[in-house]
Amino acid sequence: MMYSLKDELKVLGSIPNAAALRNKGNGSGTSVRVFPVGRLDRDSSGLVVLTDDGRVPEALLDPSRKAPKTYEVDVTPAPSTSAIEKLRAGVVITTTQQRDGETTTGPTLPCSVDIIRKRGDGKFATLRFELREGRNRQIRKMCDAVGVDVT
C-alpha cells in the first residue's frame, strides 16, 4: 500500500483510515512502520510518497539500480539551448555525502532535461529533469553550474 502526501506535518491525519493502518499487522494495535520513498530538501516543495512496504524505497532508491526519478523545477532565467545541452550531457558539481560528510567533485550522469514552460518573456522557465542518480542538492547545483537559479 502506498500513500502520497504534500505536507509532511499532516502525515497521519492525511492517510485515509489511519486508525485501521495503525491496527494492521499482528492485531495487537501496534503501529505499522511507514517508509518515505525519497526526500525533499528544506528549500523544496513537492510530493513525498510513503509506503508500508520497506522493499519499495529500496527498489526505487538503491543507487545500483539507477531507477529514473522525474522532477519539475522552476528556474530563472530561462536557460539557453546550450545550457540545456550541458545539463543533459552532465556538469561537474561538488556534493557532500549524507552519511559520512565526505565531499565529492565530479560530473553528473547524462540525463533528460526539457523546458516544459516559459513565462515572463524568458525570465522564468519550468524544467523537467529525469535523473538516474540522487546526489545531495543535485538539481540546484547543476542549474547553478549553467547560470540559472532554482526558484
Catalytic residue of the set 41, 74, 114, 149: 41
For residue 151, give the C-alpha cell: 526558484
Cβ(51)–Cβ(29) below 8 Å: no
Residue 36 burial class via C-beta count within 10 angstroms: exposed 0-12, middle 13-18, buried 19 and up? middle
Angle between helices 81-89 and 138-145 (to 10 degrees): 130
Q: Does the active-site annotation cover 53?
A: no
d(CA 50, CA 7): 12
Return the amino acid letter for 151: T
Between vectors from CA 70 to CA 55 and to CA 148, what angle results, nearest 5°?
140
Catalytic residue numbers, as ranges: 41
